Amino acid sequence: MVLFTISQATAHLAPLAMPYVAIVAVAIYMCAWSGGTNLAVFAVISKLTVEPTRASAYGYASMFFWLSSWLGTFLPPYLQIGLGAYMLMIWVFFAIVFLIYHLLLIPDTKKNSSEEIQAYFNGASQSDAVEMSKINTEEPGAPYALM
């Protein structure tokens, strides 16, 4: 986005070079997204899901992030035409909304296992989730161990 903004701000200075700068900006964005955020999503999904739902979560995450990446590269030129310098206010608005949503509605999952997180979202009490975690981490052959 920074390179896109710079290319739009300096377009009047070098009209012949700006199409190439825009292409390079999109390529850098796609490489950074593919090597950064995209890989982190799969690590987070593997940590937060249980085995039966993991394949579906990977599929939905892939679809959502490729679609959002396509929208992020397709819409800005049209928004620039329609909104001018205010086009990035849409992204600022959504960033603030998602930050508030995260801070107020997403529970703290630090130091919780996948089973505890799943139990929380399924409505189990905290003590039930802790007990389930203890059962799942006992030594093999111990009473009540799930195999």
pLDDT at residue 93 in the model: 94
Question: Measured between alpha carbons, how far is residue 25 from residues 20, 28, 65, 73, 114 in Å?
Answer: 9, 5, 19, 10, 38
- pLDDT exceeds cutoff 90 at 100: yes
Q: What is the mean pLDDT of residues 117-133?
A: 65
Q: How far apart are CA 12 and CA 83, in angstroms?
A: 18
Place 145 in a pLDDT band, splitting at 50, 70 and 90.
very low
Q: What is the mean pLDDT of residues 120-124?
A: 73
**36, 42, 43, 44 alpha-carbon torsion, rounded to 10°:** 100
Q: Are 65 and 41 in contact, with CB atoms under 8 Å apart?
A: yes
